[in-house]
């Protein structure tokens, strides 16, 4: 069912630094792939049920499964026009309007949507433009 469109609180202060959202192994990088495909983020293999953490302070602007291919998805809005996306989750631990702090568990790793093994598809966007998450995630890759 569509979520009510109500004013959301402003996101908490963002220090410009992201943390890795899951402890996992990089299995797909940002950018062009074979067959004309393009990855707007990165994919990290992790055990089913492992915690997915907020990469930065933010507000949940979407938590659901209505966007085809992504399965259970959380979108967080951060200060400065940044947005992070967390897809293919097994369980969502937040709802629209929740305020989260960096490191808070927001979901659990799963294989929902168009994937066949447990993983996290993670995106960082500046406004609507996807950016490569790896330079923003120390220790990943």
Which domains can be identified in the chain, with CATH numbers? 44-133 (2.70.70.10)
What was the pLDDT predicted at 121? 97
CA atoms of 12 and 114, how far apart (whole Å): 32
Q: What is the pLDDT of residue 3?
A: 55
pLDDT at 6: 62
Which pLDDT does position 77 carry in this prediction? 95
| Ranges of residues in the chain whose predicted pLDDT is under 50 | 1
**pLDDT of the residue at 74:** 98
What was the pLDDT predicted at 81? 92
User: Tell me, what's the pLDDT at 21?
Assistant: 98
**Is the whole model's pTM more than 0.75, yes or no?**
yes
Q: What is the mean pLDDT of the chain?
A: 92
- Beta-strand ranges (E) seen in the chain are 25-28, 31-32, 38-39, 42-45, 51-53, 58-64, 72-78, 82-92, 99-100, 105-109, 119-126, 129-131
For residue 16, what are its two tokens? 């410009």
Signed CA dihedral, 117, 137, 129, 2: sign only: positive
What pLDDT does residue 44 have? 98
pLDDT at site 91? 96
- Write down the residue that tokens 């940002």 correspond to: 30
């Amino acid at each position: 069912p569509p979520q009510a469109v109500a004013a959301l609180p402003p996101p908490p202060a963002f220090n410009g630094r992201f943390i890795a959202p899951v402890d996992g192994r990089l299995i797909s990088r940002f950018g062009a792939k074979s067959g004309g495909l393009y990855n707007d983020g990165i994919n990290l293999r992790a055990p089913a049920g492992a915690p997915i953490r907020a990469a930065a302070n933010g507000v949940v602007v979407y938590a659901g499964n209505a966007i085809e291919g992504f399965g259970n998805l959380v979108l967080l809005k951060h200060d400065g026009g940044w947005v992070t996306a967390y897809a293919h989750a097994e369980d969502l631990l937040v709802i629209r309007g929740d305020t989260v702090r960096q490191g808070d568990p927001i979901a659990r790793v799963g294989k929902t949507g168009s994937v066949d093994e447990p993983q996290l598809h993670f995106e960082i966007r500046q406004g609507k433009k996807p950016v490569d998450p790896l330079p923003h995630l120390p220790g990943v890759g």
